[in-house]
Amino acid sequence: MKQIPGGVCAAKGFSAGGIHCGIRPNKTKKDLALIVSDVPCTAAGVFTTNLVKGAPVTLCQEHLKQGKIKAVICNSGIANTCNADGMEKAVQMAEICAEAVGAQPGEILVASTGVIGQKLPIEPIQAGIPELLKSLRATAEGSDDAEAAIMTTDTVPKSAAVSFTLQGKTCSLGGIAKGSGMIHPNMATMLVFLTTDAAVSSEMLQKALSMDVRHTFNMTSVDGDTSTNDTCVILSSGLAGNPEITEENEDFAVFMQALNTVTVSLCRQIAGDGEGATKLLECRVCGAETEDTAKKLAKSVICSSLVKAAMFGEDANWGRVLCALGYAGVPADVNKIDVTFASEKGEVMVCEMGSGVDFSEEKAAEVLSAKEIDILVTLRDGDASAVAWGCDLTYDYVKINGDYRT
């Protein structure tokens, strides 16, 4: 497994681009992205479980049932959610894109992100298509332009890619993501677009993606709010030339490792770029009775507003960690829990067997001054473990969301 550049263009057969078409008033911000495959792709997706769904989510779910996918078009600035004409606009986006790339509307996936409840104008998208097609490149730069066009409150782009081998054939898998606020998925993610040239059937792509998000995007939280437009899709061009993966075998295991390497990287990038965030938090729980217990405990810690605020203040207030573990709603012997804070600046144990231990506040403050902090929780109930990602809670989170629309 090797890290490579390229994002969604790392895999053979894919090109991408992004432009400003006029949906967003700021002309320096790209707002329309396109990812196109040279050939029809097998595809899979996982979406928000919020009962309030953006029209593009419903359209994508329908199109994935129909078969192969040729392209993904995405706008930022307006979510196309809670609008009477939402489905009409989503369908129009698919039709416009299909005509532009020489495909059928059912071969197009559509995504939107931005303000909920505002009507999406279709005219800028229609007018921007010629420029969007000219922006397409099968390079890292093309992927970067597409990434820029899907960002909203994100402050940094998010991409990752790896190469790996299946039966002597070199394969690639890469992706881009956006997500900074309203991040608390449940069997879904933010906006994540993944591409691979490994030949994988639609059924196995869906199995791989559904299995992976349980341990990656479902374990990522910024603010506890699940978006209405969460979309994660993966497209396979099959151009690497490996025998198609149609069952759970050794090749499938290698593919899962590649997928997980990319998605974990994207999770960390999303959590680290949480709205107003200054620190990436990673909570590792080990020694739990079951994996489900470990996952709920880890996520309870990184979702705690009090833990997040303490990390922002670089305050080793470990009691807040135990508090979060205690209300997670799963069985755990709280009298057998150890807690350690760690970072590149060292580590400090703050709790042993459910009780506080003497530690240097100065050393703890130094450990917590780093940009990435690990909260290590050890139980003595079993052998299961889990990891969750989050960020600190800062004054800027309120500032950003206090006037998000205006």
Q: pLDDT 10s digit of each residue in the chain, 406 long?
A: 999 999 999 999 999 999 999 999 999 999 999 999 999 999 999 999 999 999 999 999 999 998 899 999 999 999 999 999 999 999 999 999 999 999 999 999 999 999 999 999 999 999 999 999 999 999 999 999 999 999 999 999 999 999 999 999 999 999 999 998 888 888 776 999 999 999 999 999 999 999 999 999 999 999 888 889 999 999 999 999 999 999 999 999 999 999 999 999 999 999 999 999 999 999 999 999 999 999 999 999 999 999 999 999 999 999 999 999 999 999 899 999 999 999 999 999 999 999 999 999 999 999 999 999 999 999 999 999 999 999 999 999 999 889 887 7
Beta bridge partners of 391: 280
Q: Which residues pair with 351 in a beta bridge?
A: 339, 356
SS3 131: helix
The values of phi and psi at residue 234, to 5°, are: -130, 135
What was the pLDDT predicted at 188? 73
Into which CATH architecture does domain 280-402 fall?
Roll (3.10)
232, β-bridge pairs: 46, 192
CA separation for the pair 321, 310 (Å, rounded): 10
Q: Please state, in angstroms and rounded to a whole number, the distance separating the CA atoms of residues 237 and 252.
A: 16
Neighbouring CB atoms inside 10 A of 103's CB total 19
Sequence spans of domains, the chain: 2-272, 280-402
pTM score, two decimals? 0.94
Strands (E) in 179-257, as ranges, are 191-196, 231-236
pLDDT in tens, 303-360: 999 999 999 999 999 999 999 999 999 989 999 999 999 999 999 999 999 999 999 9
The answer to whether residues 267 and 223 touch, using CB atoms and an 8 Å cutoff, is no
CA angle, 45 then 46 then 47, to 5°: 120
Residues 6+ apart with CB under 8 A from 168: none
Rounded CA gap, 148 and 31, in Å?
Answer: 8
E strands in 179-279: 191-196, 231-236
Residues paired with 352 in a beta bridge: 355
> Which pLDDT does position 186 carry in this prediction?
82
The answer to whether the beta carbons of residues 44 and 52 sit under 8 Å apart is no
> For tokens 């130094």, what's the residue?
366
E strand residue ranges, 237-356? 280-288, 338-343, 346-352, 355-356
Q: How far apart are CA 277 and CA 65, in angstroms?
A: 38
Instruction: Indicate which residues carry an active-site annotation.
Output: 189
How far apart (Å, rounded) are the C-alpha atoms in residues 104 and 99?
7
* d(C-alpha 165, C-alpha 322), whole Å: 43
Domain 2-272 belongs to what architecture? Answer: 4-Layer Sandwich (3.60)
Start-to-end Cα distance in the chain: 45
